[in-house]
Chain A
Amino acid sequence: MRTRFTVATGIAVITTVLAATVSGCGSGSGSSGKTIKVVYQKQLNSSNTVQPDFLAAQVKEFEKANPGTTVKLVPVTASENDYYTKIQLMMRSPVTAPDLVYEDTATINSDVASGYLKPLDSYLSTWKDWSRYATASKAAMKYAKDGKTYGVPDNTDTRGIWYNKTLLKQAGIALPWQPKTWADVLAAANAIKAKVPGVTPLNVYTGTAGGEQSSMQGFEMLLYGTAAGGDSLYNAAQQKWVVGSPGFKDALNFLHTVYSQGLGPKVQTALGVNIGAQVGTEMIPQGKLAIDLDGSWMPNNWIRTGPKPWPQWETTMGEAAMPTQNGQDKGKVSMSGGWAWSIPAKAKNTDLAWKFLQSLETETASAQWNNVNATIPTRQDVAADPTYLKALPTNQFFSGLVADTYYRPGVPAYTQVSSAIQKAMESVTTGQASVDKAASTFDNDVKSAVGADNTMQGTQ
């Protein structure tokens, strides 16, 4: 009998523990009538508290202006992919869905397709500030299938060429330098290789380890500068992915030239997981890299609070727009990304969330945010604001590129296509595959990811 008693006690204990956890301890939901939960990604680098500080100050102001309301900030400290995984999981259920979520403009369409986000059109139609946003930025928030807008873009970025004036001067290149074609870029790199030993002439990000950095700063800056322009990767009118295009091979060829002729970083370095940091905090500040195809945010590395304070950057570094392949169209090309605020479909307190979103996006708040974050404003009035333009000497140049910029295809399958691009780049960079072979592998990868009937043959 005692056996049974002991066993029964054991079971009782376990059941109690289970029941206790089931009943009392869940606390996923944090929203009630006067409370909203705001989820954003906190940088992995723990010393970077730019966004947490900015948001905390905004929350304080908002709660003061709206007595009785509580804004609960929920930072998710994770790499980008893990951040997406986590917010997507959270948005799946009304219990855990936040009221406001910070979304990468690259994943927003994908999340719309999954039904995670709420269209904001009814709010936007009564918000007069919406008209002040740049057209390209607004267009990127629109979901193609229903024409509705799902986010308020909060900042953007552009991409172009950074060059070291001292090194270019040594190579006998006239300053300020603005290449007109890809050939000009390669010619300059060759001149540096010949005249300035010990220096990497040109960096073009490549390979799978670099992730989106390779696709966007590296490949798409080339691809969107080929003859097909904005339709070179995805034809929005026909809603089909472009495969087998000559432009794709041209872009791969450029990459092949850079890495096979020793114009780029050492292949092993270029394909390493650390290359982004190495370029920004070592190669450029040490004067070891002459030309870098990179983003508008590079000064973040060099400002006083950055990982590699380097005040001389303002005089050492020059900027140029990335030319199109043969100087066609407007002659220059740029790619843009950025982040946006969205309201999840299963959010409980959308009105208050919208109110808080508005307060984050006033002219003053937007200017302040883009200043501290060293990003490019999406509001045109902020972009023209003298204090913003003076905050960093490069702000004027890079916000000027917004006129010629492209956003990535707003289609869910983009992430898979992007992986295929990185794979093709990697095999060409290492020399594992010829350009033709890599391009045909890409075609197959894209067809298997999106379905062959969602692709079309590129002619340009």
Chain B
Amino acid sequence: MAVTDSPRMAAARPAASRDRTGRSRRSRVRASRGTINVVLLLFSVLYLVPLLWMVLASFNAHASFKLNVPSPTTANFHHVLTYDTTFRPMLNGLLLCGGGTLVCVVCSILAAYPLSRFRSRLRRPFLYTILFTTGLPITAVMIPVYSMFVQVNLIDSMPATTLFLAASALPFGIWLMKNFMDGVPVVLEEAARIDGANSMQVLWRIVLPLMWPGVIVVTIFTFISMWGNFFVPFILLLSPEKLPASVSVFNFLSAHDQTQYGQLSAFSILYSIPVVMLYLILARRLGGGFALGGALKG
């Protein structure tokens, strides 16, 4: 999980002729590293407080917004760990968001390849258009989407909702993926092409293995945004038994006449587990560094 562990820190030190200044500098570096460590630690603690409150509240029989040590109980979890409240919505969520992420990532990879590798007059307008689309609040289009889904009889269909989720995440997905792909040198492909490989083979065998970090970043990003999306499934799915966890959590949280903060926190933790797991599993594949920035240099 550590970000870019740079070995250069310990890289070659100045030559002997500058030894004296070098030593004092080194001690200065050590002192400033100490300060930096303290600053970052304090910062992390402050950053951690809201998360800490959630964990404490979830085990607290009398949770309030106060940050206090609980009278410990697991009742909050017992209460929300039911089929209707947690398991079924979570499963639905995994189907919807997992499927949506898969479709989105595959389509993004396919689309990114020509966008990254071939020049066309249409390329730049296309890229700008999808880039601007990322700023559109998806709630705004839900009314026509509903009408459309009704007309083609797709309303209350989980596969169709999955496809819609995928489509709504595509603009950002394509944009990121294209930038990652730009970072893969073309030279390698040319060698493969001379050996007779076609575009798709080049993409799957040469380009993709070199841009796994990018694919993983897009996957995580897409999944996070879908997992938190409440409005799309709420509008497009009618049967209560098809609704994902995001709808339950939104209802849970927007019920302001709720004072069951303990249960709310317990449910929030359960609801966050899939995203955190996905991140932990995939981030490991990234090795030491989360190479997000690599693709974003423009």
Contacts and interface: CB of A to CB of B under 8 A. Distances in A.
Instruction: Note whether A and B form a binding pair.
Output: yes
Interface of A: 2-3, 6-7, 10, 17-18, 20-22, 25-28, 42, 44-46, 74-79, 82, 85-86, 89-90, 92-93, 95-96, 273-274, 276-277, 280-282, 307
Interface in B126-176: 143, 146-147, 149-160, 163
Contacts of A18: 163
A17 B159 contact: yes
B234 A78 contact: yes
Contacts of B53: none
Interface stretch (B24-32, B250-258, B282-290): B250-258
Given A3-B198, A6-B198, A75-B240, A27 B159 contact: no
Contacts of A10: 110
Nearest to B239: A74
B157 A79 contact: no
B259 A28 contact: no
B272 to A, nearest CB: 19
Interface residues of B, number: 39
A281 B259 CA distance: 9
Contact of A26 (B156, B254, B256): B156
B146 A26 contact: no
A89 B160 CA distance: 18
Given A3-B198, A6-B200, A89-B146, A27 B157 contact: yes
Given A10-B110, A26-B157, A28-B150, A44 B258 contact: yes
Given A75-B240, A76-B240, A28 B156 contact: yes
Nearest to A211: B256
User: What is the predominant secondary structure among interface residues of chain B facing chain A?
Assistant: helix
25 contacts: A6-B200, A17-B159, A17-B163, A21-B159, A25-B159, A26-B157, A28-B150, A28-B156, A42-B240, A45-B258, A46-B84, A74-B240, A76-B240, A77-B251, A86-B234, A86-B235, A89-B235, A92-B147, A92-B150, A93-B147, A96-B155, A276-B256, A276-B257, A277-B256, A277-B258
Contacts of B146: 89
| Most B CB within 10 A of own CB, among A77, A92, A277 | A77
A18 B248 CA distance: 28
Residue of A82, A92, A277 with most partner-chain B CB within 10 A:
A82
Interface string B240-269: 100100011001101111110000000000
Contacts, number: 107
A79 B155 contact: no
B251 A21 contact: no
Contacts of A93: 147, 150-151
B27 to A, nearest CB: 52
Nearest to A3: B198
Contact of B156 (A27, A42, A92, A282): A27
B229 to A, nearest CB: 14
A25 B160 contact: yes
A42 B247 CA distance: 13
B84 to A, nearest CB: 8
Nearest 9 CB-CB pairings of A with B: A44-B255, A26-B153, A25-B157, A3-B198, A28-B155, A21-B159, A277-B257, A6-B200, A93-B150
B199 interface: yes
B238 interface: yes
B85 interface: yes
A276 B198 CA distance: 66
Contacts of A281: 259
Nearest to B107: A14
Contacts of B150: 28, 92-93, 95-96
B147 A96 contact: no
